[in-house]
């Protein structure tokens, strides 16, 4: 049964996170799993929620809007995360639906969100995306550029910037992803000093490399395909 399989997969990912955390002396509770449900039909998300998943990640704003509505009756409370690129013109509708926006990839978007945040009593928190792999196709600030923007970032005080996010290069295995994660942590440390922001969150690690990310300090891992293993779609 798909629902059994999804439950087993979820437990297994939680176990692997815990083992990786303990390996480096971290508490497993210091890492949150965001279950990435992009492209999943709602019928497969329901058993995931029934198995205990509460933090759900979607890539595309329109797909997120649709699923939030379709799952409004699901046991919760659910915390939705937008983990993909957000266009400024989709921000107003997205803001009240999500707990966190992971991939704020420009000062322009951050400023848009900062203005919009004034309209809501409990706006989401955001992470800023850093392109640690140097791949041109990836969004986000370079290491140098984000440090240069430290003051401008700190000036956005209505939206709460809580950390940084990255994606390792495509096609890398867990070990070759490590330098990206190490770099994100270093950029976070440097940006925290320059901006005066605490920046406790590091959103990094996907199905192929989340254990490495946990070893390097991830507080949010975004895992999708590992939860669908063996499931008939
Ligand atoms: C799809 C996606 C994930 C999850 O990737 P999997 O390899 O399926 O675990 C995580 N983060 C982002 C930004 C994604 O687009």
Averaged pLDDT for residues 74-88: 96
Quote the crossing angle between the two packed helices 42-50 and 2-23, to the nearest 10°: 60
- 203 neighbors 219 (Cβ within 8 angstroms): yes
Q: Is the pLDDT of residue 38 over 90?
A: yes
Averaged pLDDT for residues 37-46: 96
Q: Which pLDDT does position 112 carry in this prediction?
A: 98
User: 160 falls in which pLDDT band (50, 70, 90)?
Assistant: very high
Q: Which atom of ligand 1 is nearest to the CA of 34?
A: 10
Q: Which pLDDT does position 136 carry in this prediction?
A: 82
CATH of the domain at 165: 3.20.20.10
Residue 124: inside a domain: yes
**Closest CA to ligand 1's atom 7:** 207
Say whether 199 sits in a helix, a strand or coil: coil
Which pairs from 175-178 meet CB under 8 Å and 24+ separation?
175/212, 177/208, 177/209, 177/212, 177/213, 178/212, 178/215, 178/216
Ligand 1 pocket list (CB less than 6 A): 36, 38, 59, 83-84, 167, 206-208, 222-226
Q: Which pLDDT does position 135 carry in this prediction?
A: 84
Give residue 44's Cα distance to chain centre.
20
Which structural domain, as residue segments, surrounds residue 145? Answer: 2-227
Give buried/exposed letters for 76-96 (b at 16+ CB in 10 A, else e): eebbbbbbbbbeeebbeebbe
- 68 neighbors 27 (Cβ within 8 angstroms): no
Distance 40 CA to ligand 1 centre (A): 12
Q: Is the pLDDT of residue 84 over 80?
A: yes
Q: Which atom of ligand 1 is nearest to the CA of 222?
A: 10
Residue 233: inside a domain: no
Which residue from 84, 81, 79 is spatially nearest to 104, judged by alpha carbons?
84
Residue 43: inside a domain: yes
Total domains in the fold of the chain: 1
Residue 108: inside a domain: yes
Q: Which pLDDT does position 73 carry in this prediction?
A: 95
Residue 85: inside a domain: yes
From CA 135, how far away is CA 183, in angstroms rounded? Answer: 14
Q: Is the pLDDT of residue 119 over 80?
A: yes
Distance 151 CA to ligand 1 centre (A): 30
Average model confidence (pLDDT) across the chain? 96
pLDDT exceeding 70 applies to what percent of the chain?
A: 100
Q: Which pLDDT does position 173 carry in this prediction?
A: 82
pTM greater than 0.85 (yes/no)? yes
**Closest CA to ligand 1's atom 12:** 83
Residue 76: inside a domain: yes
Q: Is the pLDDT of residue 134 over 90?
A: no
Q: Which pLDDT does position 7 carry in this prediction?
A: 98
Q: Is the pLDDT of residue 129 over 80?
A: yes
Quote the DSSP letter at residue 99.
S
Averaged pLDDT for residues 13-18: 98
Residue to substitute in 55, 83, 229 for testing ligand 1 pocket (most ligand atoms within 8 angstroms of CB): 83
Distance 78 CA to ligand 1 centre (A): 19
């Amino acid at each position: 049964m798909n629902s059994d399989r999804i439950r087993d997969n979820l437990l297994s990912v939680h176990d692997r996170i815990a083992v990786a955390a303990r390996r480096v002396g971290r508490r497993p509770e210091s890492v949150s799993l965001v279950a990435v449900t992009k492209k999943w039909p709602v019928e497969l998300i329901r058993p995931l929620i029934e198995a205990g998943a509460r933090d759900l990640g979607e890539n595309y704003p329109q797909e997120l809007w649709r699923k939030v509505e379709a799952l409004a009756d699901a046991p919760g409370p659910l915390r939705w995360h937008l983990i993909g690129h957000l266009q400024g013109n989709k921000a107003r509708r997205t803001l009240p639906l999500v707990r966190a926006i992971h991939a704020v990839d420009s000062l322009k978007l951050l400023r848009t969100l900062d203005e919009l945040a004034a309209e809501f009593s409990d706006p989401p928190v955001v992470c800023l995306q850093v392109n640690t792999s140097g791949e041109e196709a990836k969004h986000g600030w370079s290491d140098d550029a984000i440090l240069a923007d430290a003051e401008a970032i700190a000036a956005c005080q209505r939206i709460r910037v809580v950390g940084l996010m990255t994606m390792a290069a495509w096609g890398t295995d867990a070990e070759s992803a490590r330098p990206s994660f190490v770099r994100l942590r270093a950029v976070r440390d440097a940006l925290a000093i320059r901006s005066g922001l605490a920046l406790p969150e590091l959103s990094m690690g996907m199905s192929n490399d989340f254990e490495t990310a946990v070893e390097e300090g991830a507080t949010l891992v975004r895992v999708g395909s590992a939860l669908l293993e063996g499931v008939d779609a």
